[in-house]
Amino acid sequence: MARRTRSAFLENRTARLKLASRKKPYTALIAPGIFLAYRRNAGPGTWSVKCNGWLKRFGLADDHEEANGESVMTYWQALEKAKTLARAGETNTEQPLSVAEAIDAYETDLESRGGRKYNATQLRLHLNDAIKNKAVPLLTERELRDWRAGLVKQGLKPSSADRIGRSLKAALALAARNDKWIANAAAWKDGLKKLPDSDVARNVILPDRTVASLVSGSYDEDRNLGLLIAVLAETGARESQVLRLTPDDLQDSNPTTPRLFMPTSKKGKSRKVEHRPLAISKRLATALRQQASDRDAHAPLFDKMWNLAARFHPIVERLGLGPEVTPYALRHSSIVRQLRNNVPVRIVAAHHDTSVAMIERNYSRYIIGDPSDALTRASLIELVEPPSSAPVVAISRQAA
């Protein structure tokens, strides 16, 4: 068995606490070219790995609390972590990517694809420094699971915690695609699995009258906001799709059957964008044509609106609705409206740029509703009960 590298002034907390506090870390050579670095602070010290000219912090020392092997480590635990991190890319002299750096890259990727940078900025607000500063190859399933559970414990709804977790999964998956040395994808795939019932809070179905009131109230607030909300309400598209519309996507040459060529989302592994024609009302087409009149054919039809939910919330409050009503509720309501009007599930899925499986999984109670009731009722068998006074005839048992 190989001998473990000892360090008299780092391997126990008593010796470490006698060291002078300073910015420059104390180091111990633990393998050829690999150093374990300890920085003495006023509070708990920190462990880092130094290799090939870079320095990466990865955890706290057990100076004032018991080690858990993940965020707080003994000298021996830190020694093994440092070796793992340094050797994850022995042929690569670049510094391992931290979670904070992965989020920065994710934000850049979102911006380049016309996505919502808010997904990245919101993620930063909910991550603690320990995870932000941790190298992606060292993330563990338990650490990520506990972090998301902590969001719910702090008061976030499971749907919100699940949504933030999905943003982190997307950021880490992007990092793994760009760095072959990141081999712990199971940590976020398993640690950030969908929470039970996390869709319940988001699947808010609004009556048509309420949808109309929300659109009207948005117009009262701001014309551009009202027009955007009207498109979301009529088409059931995602905000990211609508914000990629151009004047050229408005097809209103035939005023009786206007349509919008809605770009598909950039979700999933295939990011090929197609356009699907969606029917819109003549009133909305007229308003959109006015909006498009002073814009180039391939310019965005709408200006960027950061944090649409925050702008939408005062309108929701004025109508006396609950905080669970967000712009995304317009999409849920559109899907259910079509299902209740007996539109085939396949068409509903294509219209809303999703899959039949997703529609059946999340909206089955609306598929098995009024339309199917009428269809199945026609096939009921009529069973006539015998009159109560009918004589009871005994069946004699015959010998074999």
* The length of the chain, given as a count of residues: 400
Characterize the bridge pairing of strands 54-61 and 72-73. parallel
What is the predicted pLDDT for the residue at 201? 45
Asked if residues 147 and 127 have their Cβ atoms less than 8 Å apart, the reply is yes
Would you state the CATH architecture of domain 99-191?
Orthogonal Bundle (1.10)
Q: Using CA atoms, how far apart are residues 136 and 294, in angstroms rounded to an integer? A: 47
Residue 224 has φ and ψ, to the nearest 5°, of -65, -40
Instruction: Provide the 3-class DSSP secondary structure of residue 398.
Output: coil
In the chain, DSSP finds a helix count (H) and a strand count (E) of 17, 8
210 in the Ramachandran plot: left (φ > 0), alpha (ψ -120 to 50) or beta?
Answer: alpha
Lateral strand order in the sheet of 259-263? 250-251, 259-263, 275-279
Q: Which residues of 289-317 are buried (b: 16+ CB within 10 A; e: fewer)?
A: eebbeeeeeeeebbeebeebeebbbebbe
Instruction: Please give the chain's pLDDT, 400 residues, in tens.
Output: 456 688 888 988 899 999 999 888 999 988 888 899 999 998 889 999 888 777 888 889 999 889 988 889 999 999 988 888 877 655 454 567 889 999 999 998 887 776 678 788 889 999 988 898 888 888 889 999 999 999 989 988 888 889 899 999 999 999 998 887 787 889 999 999 888 766 554 678 999 999 999 999 999 999 999 999 999 999 999 998 999 999 999 999 998 999 999 998 866 545 577 899 999 999 999 999 999 998 998 899 998 887 788 899 999 999 999 888 999 999 999 999 999 998 999 999 999 999 999 999 888 888 765 555 666 666 667 677 666 655 555 555 555 4
Contacts of residue 297, Cβ cutoff 8 Å, sequence gap at least 6: 246, 247, 248
Longest dimension (CA), the chain: 105
At the fourth CATH level, the homologous superfamily of domain 208-374 is Intergrase catalytic core (1.10.443.10)
Q: Which of 47, 138, 133, 27 is nearest to 89 (CA)?
A: 138
In sequence order, the β-bridge partners of residue 51 are 34, 54
Give the count of beta carbons closer than 10 Å to the beta carbon of residue 10: 22
Residue 345's pLDDT is 93
Supply the pLDDT for residue 32.
82
Residue with tokens 């976030």: 156
Q: Which residues contact 117 (CB under 8 A, 6 or more apart)?
A: 107, 110, 111, 306
Three-state SS annotation for 193-217? CCCCCCCCCCCCCCCHHHHHHHHHH
| Domain limits, the chain | 13-87, 99-191, 208-374
